Amino acid sequence: MLKVPQQQYIKFLYENEDYSISEIAKVMGVNWRTAKKYATKDNWNEPMYRRKKRHPVLGPYLDIIDTWLTEEQALPRKQRYTAKRIFDRLCDEYGFEGGRRTVEEYVAKRRKELKLERAESYEHLEHPGGEAQVDFGTAYVGQPGKLVERKVLTMSFPFSNAAFVFPVRKENTECFLEAMKRIFERIGGVPKKIWFDNLSAAVISIDRDGKRTFTDQFLRFAAHYRFNPEFCNANSGHEKGHVENKVGYGRRNWLVPPPVCDTDTELETYLAQMAESDMDRPHYAKKERIADLWEAERKKLLTMPAVPFEVYRLEPA
């Protein structure tokens, strides 16, 4: 959080020097939203906060409950805790002697707070951990006596800067979903939210009001793996700029000159190894190793379903 003199200087630049929000963000070295927050702030009264209620009986167990409530977010809804189950575990495993009603009230209150925290995190320009962006790129590969074209699906994670890739022959719905499925299986989880452009493998059409019609198979796939799909505005691929950069980075560093892979399986193995070894470098901004950031981020992924999604196309013949 910026100190008060910095906040006031942002306001001064905006009101008296006619700086734009973007110029202020650049001069101050802050996020655009931070610059806008203080540049347009009208109420500078010091906020008054309610004193938090103490929990004399439940206090020693709050961290345990919070941990359980956080961990359950990665599970399907029907497998999450009930307040009674939390109460029973506290009694059985930790010797809790308080009342069940005390636990139920705290669980209900804490769940609302966690929901608000998640909603607020989605308003930031930066992606919170556990979110991904997806896009296709084109690659040329050497195979016996010829140069063949392959499509490479890249799934990037802006928080850690990790990326995973899978090659397919076309950009149709079946190849698109199979590639995502294989990446989910490789990373051992599913991103909570995935950003796409309006690729035809998922979007049939976009109405004038922006409403999209999706392929049935994509909708079933998203429901099966429980991720929340987000789509860029039309002709606005820059809205998922992280994966756009990753597609170009992978092409320049892993596919120039074209690798020689006799089979698609060899290409798949080659690209997986290149993506994995690439994580052994520092993050461009956080200066921590990408692999370490990814290990922390992967804990925020949704759990895999017990039954994998079957990707196929059924046609009359």
pLDDT in tens, 248-286: 899 989 998 899 999 999 999 999 999 999 999 998 888
Statement: residue 119 has pLDDT above 70: no
Name residues whose C-beta falls within 8 Å of residue 212's C-beta, 6 or more positions apart in sequence.
Answer: 198, 203, 204, 205, 206, 231
Statement: residue 48 has pLDDT above 70: no
6-10, 93-97, 177-181, 241-245, range with the lowest pLDDT: 6-10
CA 245 vs CA 115, 137, 241, 297: distances in Å: 32, 11, 6, 20
pTM over 0.75: no
Q: Which fold has domain 131-300?
A: Nucleotidyltransferase; domain 5 (3.30.420)
Statement: residue 194 has pLDDT above 70: yes
88-97, 113-122, 215-224, range with the lowest pLDDT: 113-122
Statement: residue 125 has pLDDT above 50: no
In this prediction, residues 157-183 reach a mean pLDDT of: 95
CA 273 vs CA 62, 216, 284: distances in Å: 43, 33, 21
Q: Rounded CA gap, 82 and 88, in Å? A: 10
pLDDT given for residue 161 in this prediction: 93
Q: To 10 degrees, what angle do helices 100-121 and 62-71 make? A: 50
Statement: residue 132 has pLDDT above 90: yes
Domain ranges of the chain: 4-39, 59-121, 131-300
In this prediction, residues 217-227 reach a mean pLDDT of: 91
7-11, 44-48, 92-96, 251-255, range with the lowest pLDDT: 44-48
Statement: residue 51 has pLDDT above 90: no
Which of 174, 220, 180, 178 lies closest to 196 in space, CA to CA?
180
Question: Quick one: pLDDT band at residue 124, thresholds 50, 70, 90?
Answer: very low
pLDDT given for residue 211 in this prediction: 80
Identity of the residue numbered 141: V
Statement: residue 42 has pLDDT above 80: no
